[in-house]
Amino acid sequence: MNLIMTIALITLGLSVILAVVSFWPPQMLPDHEKLSPYECGFDPLGSARLPFSIRFFLVAILFLLFDLEIALLLPLPWGDQLAAPLWTFIWASAILALLTLGLVYEWPQGGLEWAE
């Protein structure tokens, strides 16, 4: 037990020392080159902080929602081997109904159209 605690303390101490050494000196000596944005070796032509469309976020969230729900349907071929395959069918139907309701809701809202 003493050996494990010693190794754990040495590992923790070394990790803290390496973290402090890696973060502390660069913050003490920032220069102009390190603070400027890098753009393929050229001086930046515009602001590095350009806003982008909220549509990207909307598409990403819709993709995550529908993709995760579809991933729940992947083990369905093995569902008939369970003790109660009828319950598997009922739950799969509920997930498909939820997907369909989400699609029906998003379609009139315009969430599936990229540009107006």
Reported as a single tens digit per residue, the pLDDT across 2-46 is 888 999 999 999 999 999 888 877 666 667 766 766 666 666 666
CA angle 60, 63, 116 (to 5 degrees): 65
Dist. CA 54–CA 33, nearest whole Å = 32
pLDDT for position 40: 67
> Is there a domain that residue 23 lies in?
no
Across the chain, mean pLDDT equals: 80
Asked whether the CA dihedral 76, 84, 101, 60 is positive or negative, the reply is negative
Task: Establish if 4 belongs to a structural domain.
Answer: no
**Structural domain count, the chain:** 1
* Separation of first and last alpha carbons in the chain: 67
CA distance linking residue 85 with residue 77, whole number of Å? 11
Question: Does 63 score more than 90 pLDDT?
Answer: no
CA 86-92-97 angle, to 5 degrees, is 125
- Tell me whether residue 10 is in a domain: no
Residue 79 lies in domain: 54-109
Give domain status of residue 58, yes or no: yes
If one compares 91 and 116, the residue with the highest pLDDT of the two is 91
pTM, rounded to two decimals: 0.47
Q: Is there a domain that residue 33 lies in?
A: no
26 lies in a domain?
no
Region of poorest pLDDT, from 77-81, 84-88, 102-106: 77-81
**Beta carbons within 8 Å of 65's beta carbon, 6+ residues apart:** 102
pLDDT greater than 80 at residue 53: no
Residue 109: per-residue pLDDT: 85
